[in-house]
Structure 1
């Protein structure tokens, strides 16, 4: 077998000399990319809204299946779990049953029909829009959009594979923060060019993230190891996370900046444009190019790192691949112009990531953060006085109890339940949405970032822009996918109880316990859309 890596590197070497990597311009590009990453990173409210939606769907699940041990739960996966999403990203959800046996397609569709009926009733009240069941897809799903937040939810059944891969990717991203940042930027780039949609025969998010991981595996020196090493103890997320801890310094010898990695990834993709048809395949498992023949011909081949018989880029169509490569070549042309001093940075960001990209050379991550840690921004009122915190807690409790009484009265038919009574403290969340129906919670600003918590990335030459950002959510790990964020309500002979399956740990969000009522006997009193006993979802 020919040395495929050498063939690919030779083709890359024909493109790279056309780009002038002037140190000053590369530093400017790095700053622009870091600014773009920061500006598009999700805010605490984006995490909050998605967690609340997961919890609401679990409440709906209990309405359908009851509180028995055999009832399913709704689990999140995809970009949210990988922590590679923005505020416009879809929320992928899976209805997962407890038994280990594989769920038949017939049962999946039957399950989705039950949820579809419930969601139709909610849609009539205006809390959701765009309800669209897709029964004929390879993976049957229901698409539905929360009216207030605009978050589109894709609901599938028993997507254990998607859940596992998402958690594995999240675990691996701890090896080097450039993996997450480059994946985020490449996804943003693909969305801006309308080539990030499997239903339109373009790239899936998993295929984009896989390209990024493969690129980092094939740098010299490599930044990520072959996944075969990380999967040596098994492919369950817990085992992978355990192995990952022994490779946290794996890529420290590589000093490449985010800008260099962004450019060279596009170059790598451009260089193999004519090699896909010859059987070239990107293998994350091997961490190298391999020759592979599939049962059917694909225009792009990216081997699934768990099920190696599958191509994660299988959705890409032959016409769509031409569009993808036009975008790659166009982006490389504009990057070359910028590095040659022929275009402005803001214009470049608009071309790469869409118009009005919030990124300027003046607003960026300073290259001296690691030298002066005390200059980190102090967020407003990080530590309220104890007396004030107690007063706020008591006031929240009073509001919860008052709201619960109103819902109980409505359920008993003694008082009509009118919309809009929930006083949502998170002013960013519109009222007419599923999220707005959550029990009131007072959001407090995140704590100030202590200088002792700063993890300075030493993978950079002096004077270059560091790879961590000032934004608290971007700076710190804000999501732990190994801890599902759903809560299950149940009712026993002793009364109503909330059983916490587990809660995602996020220092920038209030405890999810504060969202839930602590009194009452009806497990649905925390949601305003349950209007009466006979028809809980309204007329």
Structure 2
């Protein structure tokens, strides 16, 4: 039970300590967080920024809602998923063939040691290049799929430039350093190519390609958000070995179907990874624990949290041992689960990896399409870039894959191409929108509301010479 006090503290809360020595948050503590947000004037349980969420009280990292307040929509999601799984016929022979195809695809996706060495060399060489450019104690560090070990040979390399400053950099300062590095990159045609700065993005980046390896790199400045997220995802990868191959398969599937680009209104790699985590958390039995057990009560921006996250993740190793599903079964049920809840997104459905269950979000948070809560910033929908038009495209790809899973596997190569793309499955094109119909000016009856110049005949004033054509 949580009681509100005027001084912003919790008067009564049951807590238990993990082996790592950190406190775990009880579920009902979220009601206190919501009450505080209403008092602060930030809306219906919503926080305006992550720093505001983090400073709500002695227990940072609260979410935007109490999961116990929305049992109806969670029950709906569970029911439609059970019905979808019950209607899916799956024989033992088909499971064997499907598992064999998945293993062959994973073998092709596994990066070689040469590719790993090439990426490490890019990080080292670019770090030296930046130190010469900025002539200071600047450091370049990787994050993203390279740190979480969920990259393939054609994945981008995410880099972040950290400038030795005591205070966080403003957007103007980040743009200043990014433009300086961009200017130096453009002068190094022998080493870097296809330099494309994107300064007006939410996170300003400059894209470039390493000429020697052909690997595309994305450089940002002081991207501590990406580093903190990568730290948590890398810790999850150490809990169960099935997390990494599932992410590899889903990213490859989305990229081959051209729905892996947030700038185009589809799914980012981060959203796909969060959905993979959510699926592993909501399996029966679960494979991964709720993220509240890993990051609850921690300030992810603080330098000390790295050791706590690693210790907590280590304590949960073997958490999913009771789940005996192969990666092929987890891959198939992922599509069944996400496809089954298509109609519930418009009712406020949201996938929360922090709580490891379906929750509901307020309308100001939800855009009616896919909603995935960002564990780093609970006030943010990680899939907010998905537009209604691309939502239909994404779900057409998902439904086509589910239909392909139902059919017998006659040709192994064609089935593998369906998973990794390569033109086997037809590309999804949204239905054309009807062109807006504007009335023909010649069909409009003369009236004072329509100028005579739009009625198909020249305008002559009541008196005076006729108008000249311009």
TM-score by length of 2: 0.72
Match of 1:314 in 2: 384
Choose the corresponding residue for 1:121, options 187, 191, 210.
187
For 1:27, the equivalent position in structure 2 comes to 96
Structure 2 partner of 1:61: 130
Deviation, structure 1 residue 296: 5.1
User: Which residue does the alignment assign to 2:419?
Assistant: 352
SS at match of 1:29: helix
Contact 1:233 1:240 (C-alpha < 8 Å) held by counterparts? no
Partner of 2:118: 49
The whole-number CA distance in structure 2 between the counterparts of 1:345 and 1:196 is 25
Distance 1:351 1:191 in 2: 12
> Residues of 1 paired with 2:74 and 2:295: CA distance?
23
Checking the alignment, whether the CA contact within 8 Å between 2:348 and 2:366 is kept in structure 1 is no
CA distance in 2 between partners of 1:63 and 1:238 (Å): 32
Q: What CA distance in whole angstroms lies between the structure 2 residues aligned with 1:220 and 1:98? A: 47
Report the alpha carbon displacement of residue 356 of structure 1 after superposing the two structures with TM: 9.0
TM-superposition CA deviations, 1:55-89 (whole Å, max 9, x none): 111111111222x4xx2211101111110011110
**Conserved in 1, the CA contact under 8 Å of 2:291 and 2:356?**
yes
Inter-partner Cα distance in structure 2 for 1:232 and 1:194: 35
347-356 or 324-333, which deviates more: 347-356
Q: Give deviations 1:401-430, integer Å, cap 9, x for gaps.
A: xxxxxxxxxxxxxxxxxxxxxxxxxxxxxx
Look up the match of 1:92. 158
Given that residues 352 and 358 in structure 2 are in contact (C-alpha distance below 8 angstroms), is that contact kept between their aligned partners in structure 1? yes
Cα distance in 2 between the residues matched to 1:256 and 1:5: 24
Contact 2:352–2:373 under 8 Å retained in 1: yes
In 1: Cα distance, 2:130 partner to 2:182 partner? 12
Cα distance, 1:16 vs structure 2: 2.2
C-alpha distance in structure 2 between counterparts of 1:332 and 1:297, whole Å: 26
For 1:36 and 1:219, locate their aligned partners in 2 and report how far apart those are by CA, in whole Å.
23
Per the alignment, residue 327 of structure 2 pairs with 258
Structure 1 residue matching 2:287: 3-state secondary structure: coil
Structure 1 stretches of 4+ with a deviation exceeding 4 A read none
- Cα distance, 1:294–1:59 mapped onto 2, change above 3 Å: farther
Contact 1:82 1:169 in 2 (8 A): yes
* Alignment partner of 1:181 out of 224, 245, 258: 245
Larger Rg: 2
Partner of residue 394 from structure 2, selected from 311, 321, 324: 324
Counterpart CA distance in 2 for 1:275 and 1:97 is: 44
Q: CA RMSD in A?
A: 1.6
* Structure having greater relative contact order (Cα 8 Å, sep ≥ 6): 1
Partner-residue secondary structure (3-state), 1:319: helix
CA–CA separation in structure 2 for the residues paired with 1:290 and 1:98: 40
SS at match of 1:302: coil
| Partner residue in 1 for 2:278 | 214
SS in 2 for 1:275: helix
Aligned residue in 2 for 1:155: 219
Tell me what 1:238 maps to. 307
Deviation string 1:239-289 (CA, Å, 9 cap, x unpaired) is 111101111011000111111111111011101111111110000001100
Contact 2:240/2:287, CA 8 A, preserved across alignment = yes
Indicate the residue corresponding to 1:269 in structure 2. Answer: 338
